[in-house]
A and B are shown apart, each in its own frame.
Chain A
């Protein structure tokens, strides 16, 4: 304890921020001071925070651009929904069913991550980006033609509605382009909070471990890292699969927050949206991802009711560009540096 470990301190501050935010929101909820529209944003915002933190693991800490993060979310969402419906009778307790569904979602995401990761992590930079994009499209395309259901004869799965012969008493879980409908909503803000805490725990411990240092060494200089005996594939895969698993869990939470979910939700635009959160929050900065995801997800909704409806998305685009320009402006950075000289020093040392 003589030397305060800055990294772990940083991590504790992140937990603190999340817990404080949770507490404040709970108090506001208790007092009834939170509008309906803000309340409805809580769970999806939690999902996006987890998505952003997990993508940051791939993009910021591993240093590989991924454009298909929503694909893992999709895997998690649909497997989570399926499990929650299958367990409807076996596990009547909602919170337990939610936990199991999220765990299954995480496993599905991890499997997807491993399937994509093993062959393609050999590729670099923009080529990896396009493969993750392609993967996201493939997932979307496949789920869109998938029919899944359960009846008394068992579990049914088919690739078209004609071959999907569910018994009359059966429950259709996923109906191709209609997606999953009639889902019982299980997600809650508390579950979202717990998932964020787990995500922070996993990601921060990974980053501060031996493996995490190896992963960052790969990002900074792959050849140098390889030459000191770091197993490239192993550590790349470790980061990538962890990231995919967390995205899967977030997907399951998402899927169980709405009564219906369609595969087209998890398209290229959603992947890009999460990437925007990560980059705006700062590559490699977990705290930045959390704050950026929370603020930017809420921003377009906050622009409602200002009488600017027609210009809502236009303003969003302009804010996006201006923020990027401002945060990368050297003069502005220098100014900030003069005002808060200490920060600069810490940054230089760290």
Chain B
């Protein structure tokens, strides 16, 4: 019995090593996280010469564990890079970001928001996903906190709330824009749609797309759905499009299920044009993804990681060095959110000593005033409507040779 125990222990040890060996490629994120937190804290203390430097506490919320963890961590990391840059500039405003996990669930998000209130947050950054964001926005509206979400795109987030603003396109806006693009480009005469009917983002885009397509005379020949992003088999949905003769398939879904759809379409020798929304961005960076599958894929994304401008290059390099993967539009939206908050705060007179409610009103006045605009990774001259919706031009890109080419 003793011997067996020893053997079990040895094997357990061996397993641990193999696990560690396995993670070497992406293990960077664990080792860099503490040092990053360290620099973040030490910088303001070190450079803080005058008393006129104001630190704004930003409370971030998003899923860093669970099914949606990849999106939440991206918005967290993107924002962290922006905060580091901003604090290194020695400007009049410093940002301090505290990020809380909501596991992608509304009630946890509300708890996370309340613990951020206890921490002393003045501005709320989040949530990453729609359902938690709607729940939190109702709370921030009642408590008077300014809220800017990087990626929760449903109109319900901002509806009837003056304090909630979005950095991403709204779902109906994106659906309508997609239909308009297809009409003007003349791509696809018969259109199939596959979407996730259990997801607000996907359903929101698909509904608007189908409705607008009808109005402007596009022919939607097949509409097919699946219930969860954990669904693995899409053959039936693809067959429905194939049998209806669709030569273009619109996929307003996230990239993980989309990568399966592309692989399965190839397997059944079905090669229509695939057209996706901004959730598709990130597919090319999936570890081990066969980029030839995505060749010819069209998608609407505000961010291009292979962009050549200086700011994008620096961002991509910093992100990759810290986390070992390429940033996607979630990270870029998060980065832009921090700059939007920072630049707005810089324009507010007498920001020192404002409480969160005064800050909220000042920020709302600025964001909806019409003169305020932000340049970022996901657009230049970005402005906000009074509804909280952003106005920036959607960019359609095509995947060619494993990279994006703007159309």
Binding site for B on A (CB under 8 A): 35-37, 39-41, 44, 141, 144-145, 161-162, 176-179, 181-182, 185, 254, 258-262, 264-265, 301, 304-305, 309-310, 312-313
Cα of A258 to Cα of B139 in the assembled complex, Å: 9
Contact present for A37 and B117 (CB under 8 Å):
yes
Using Cβ atoms and an 8 Å threshold, which residues of chain A touch B107?
A: 44, 254, 258, 265
Known contacts being A177-B200, A305-B119, is A259 close to B114, with CB within 8 Å?
no
B325 interface hit (Cβ, 8 Å): no
Complex: chain B residue closest to A183, CB-CB = B138
Q: Answer yes or no: B135 CB below 8 A from chain A CBs.
A: yes
- Can you list, as one digit per residue, whether each of B172-204 has a CB less than 8 Å from chain A (1) or not (0)? 000000000000000000000000111110111
Q: Are A265 and B105 in contact (CB under 8 A)?
A: yes
Which residues of B are found within 8 Å of A301, using beta-carbon distances?
A: 111, 115
Rounded to whole angstroms, the CA-CA distance of A301 and B110 in the bound complex is: 11
Give the CA-CA distance A182 to B134 in the complex, in Å: 9
B349 contacts chain A at the CB level, 8 A cutoff: no
The reply on B10 being an interface residue by CB < 8 A is no
Tell me if A177 and B115 are in contact (CB < 8 A): no
Question: Counting CB contacts under 8 A, is B285 at the interface?
Answer: no
Expressed in whole angstroms, the minimum distance between the Cβ of B213 and any Cβ of chain A is 12
Residues A145 and B197 in contact, CB atoms below 8 Å apart: yes
On whether the beta carbons of B64 and A309 are closer than 8 Å, the reply is: yes
Q: In the assembled complex, which residues on chain B have CB atoms less than 8 Å from the CB atom of A254?
A: 107
Complex CA distance for A310 and B72, rounded to whole angstroms: 12
Q: Is B131 an interface residue (CB 8 A)?
A: yes
> B64 — which chain A residues lie within 8 A by C-beta?
309-310
Knowing A178-B204, A309-B64, say if A141 contacts B131 (CB, 8 Å): no
Asked if B227 lies at the interface with its beta carbon under 8 angstroms from chain A, I say yes
**Cα(A37)–Cα(B137), bound, Å:** 16
Closest to A179 in B: B131
| 14 additional contacts (CB under 8 A) given A141-B227, A304-B101, A312-B65 | A35-B118, A36-B118, A44-B107, A177-B197, A179-B200, A258-B135, A259-B139, A261-B106, A262-B131, A304-B100, A304-B112, A309-B99, A309-B101, A312-B101
Contacts of B210 in A (CB 8 A): 162
Known contacts: A144-B227, A310-B64. The answer to whether A177 contacts B156 by CB under 8 A is no
Contacts of B159 in A (CB 8 A): 181-182
The answer to whether B156 and A178 have CB atoms under 8 Å apart is yes
* A96 CB → nearest B CB, Å: 22
> Which B-chain residue is minimally distant from A257 (CB atoms)?
B107
By beta carbon, the residue of chain B nearest A39 is B114
Residues of A near B65 (CB, < 8 A) are 312-313
Known A-B contacts A182-B156, A259-B135, A310-B64; the reply to A176 vs B111 at CB < 8 A is no
A46 to chain B, nearest CB (A): 13
List of B residues within 8 angstroms of A35 by Cβ: 114-115, 118
Bound complex: CA A55 to CA B101 (Å): 28
Using CB atoms, name the residue of chain B closest to A144. B198
The chain A residue sitting closest to B214, CB to CB, is A162
Structural contact, A309 and B100, CB atoms closer than 8 A:
yes
- Would A258 and B106 count as touching, CB distance under 8 A? yes
Min CB gap B207→A, angstroms:
5
Least Cβ distance of B36 to chain A in Å?
Answer: 13
Rounded to whole angstroms, the CA-CA distance of A179 and B106 in the bound complex is: 11
Q: A176, B114: Cβ atoms under 8 Å?
A: no
Main secondary structure of the interface of A (DSSP, over half): helix
Interface residues of B in 62-116 (CB under 8 A from A): 64-66, 99-101, 103, 105-107, 110-115
Are B111 and A259 touching (Cβ within 8 A)?
Answer: no
CA distance A317 to B119 in the complex (A): 26
Interface status of B147 (Cβ within 8 A of chain A): no
The answer on a CB contact under 8 Å between B200 and A258 is no
Residues of B within 8 Å of A312, CB to CB, are 65, 101
10 cross-chain pairs, A with B, having the tightest CB-CB distances, nearest first:
A259-B138, A37-B115, A40-B114, A36-B114, A260-B134, A37-B114, A36-B117, A178-B200, A35-B118, A181-B156
CB < 8 Å neighbour of B111 from A41, A141, A177, A265: A41
Q: Contacts A177-B197, A177-B198, A181-B134 known; A260 to B106 CB distance under 8 Å?
A: yes
Using CB atoms, name the residue of chain B closest to A313: B65
B347 interface residue per 8 A CB criterion: no
Inter-chain CA distance A185–B142, complex, in Å, is 11
* Residues of A close to B135: CB separation below 8 A: 258-260
For residue B301, CB closer than 8 A to chain A, the reply is no
- Residues on B with beta carbons closer than 8 Å to the beta carbon of A176: 197, 203
B154 within 8 A of partner (CB): yes
* 8 contacts across the A-B interface (CB closer than 8 A): A36-B115, A37-B111, A39-B114, A141-B227, A182-B156, A182-B159, A260-B135, A265-B106
Q: Which residues of B contact A264 (CB under 8 A)?
A: 131, 198
Distance from B111 Cβ to chain A, minimum over Cβ atoms (Å):
5
CB of B33 within 8 Å of the partner chain: yes
Q: How far is the CB of B277 from chain A (nearest CB, A)?
A: 15
A260, A262, A310, A313 interface centre (most CB from chain B within 10 Å): A260
Residues in A with CB closer than 8 Å to B199 are: 177
* Residues of chain A contacted by B110 (CB below 8 angstroms): 40, 258
Residues of B within 8 A of A144 (CB): 197-198, 227
Nearest Cβ on chain A to B203's Cβ, whole angstroms: 5
Q: Does B406 belong to the interface (CB within 8 Å)?
A: no
With a 10 A CB-CB cut-off, give which of A145, A181, A265 has the most chain B CB atoms: A181
A313 to B137 alpha-carbon distance, docked (Å)? 25
Name the residue on A nearest B154 (C-beta).
Answer: A178
Chain B positions within 8 Å of A305 at CB level: 115, 118-119
